[in-house]
Structure 1
Amino acid sequence: MKKSVKNVFKDVGFSDAESANLEARARLIILLEKEIVRLKLTQAEVAKELEVKPPRVSELMNGKIDKFSLDLLIVYLARLGKAVDFKLKQAA
């Protein structure tokens, strides 16, 4: 059994760079989902706030990570009144 490196994307074979990008996008999607739930917004309200069509909200809420870039996720968070703060650390 292979030991986990605490990054599911790296565990399944993505390169260090790819796994870092995927992990960051996954974390931002989770933060967006939590904020949407906290605000008790309907899908239509989320679409209006994010300036997207409802199917795009569905993709977001269903974790379709491949559909969203880091910069777009940051824009969506900003549209919900949130700012993203980065912390850099040495790669493992």
Structure 2
Amino acid sequence: MSENTITQAVDNIFLDLGFSSEEADNLLIRSQLILALTHQIKERGWTLDQTAQHLQQSNDRIKALTQGKIGQFSVDILIAMLNKVGMTVKVEICPKVA
């Protein structure tokens, strides 16, 4: 039998997936915004049509959002959508940990 080795992941899974530091940071931010937005949609119990209407987006765009298709959404768009559901976004800037 071979031993299983467990490797501790870094705080940003996108780094573990091989993305550059800059791209990993951007993906992490967008994924957190998408999670917060989809949480708000679920909390409200909105249907696809209701969500599209409230966020002023197409049904296809909302479907992509709920499927976590990060590449289709910029930080700006996600913040605007969060504002439309009554949320605000705060940014925390921290020094890099070596």
Q: TM-score, normalised by structure 2?
A: 0.88
Find out whether 1:31 has 2:41 as its counterpart. Answer: no
Give RMSD over aligned pairs. Answer: 1.1
Q: How many correspondences in the alignment?
A: 92
Larger Rg: 2
**In structure 1, distance between residues paired with 2:39 and 2:87:** 12
The aligned residue for residue 75 of structure 1 is 80
**In structure 2, distance between residues paired with 1:34 and 1:5:** 25
Find out whether 1:58 has 2:63 as its counterpart. Answer: yes
Find out whether 1:18 has 2:23 as its counterpart. Answer: yes
Deviation (angstroms), 1:7: 1.0
CA offset digits 1:35-75 (Å, max 9, x no partner): 00001111101000110111110000000000000010000
Structure 2, unaligned runs of 5 or more: none
Runs of 4+ in structure 1 over 4 Å off: none
The one-letter amino acid paired with 1:45 is: Q
The one-letter amino acid paired with 1:43 is: L
SS of the equivalent of 1:66 reads helix
Q: TM-score, normalised by structure 1?
A: 0.94
**In structure 2, distance between residues paired with 1:70 and 1:91:** 21
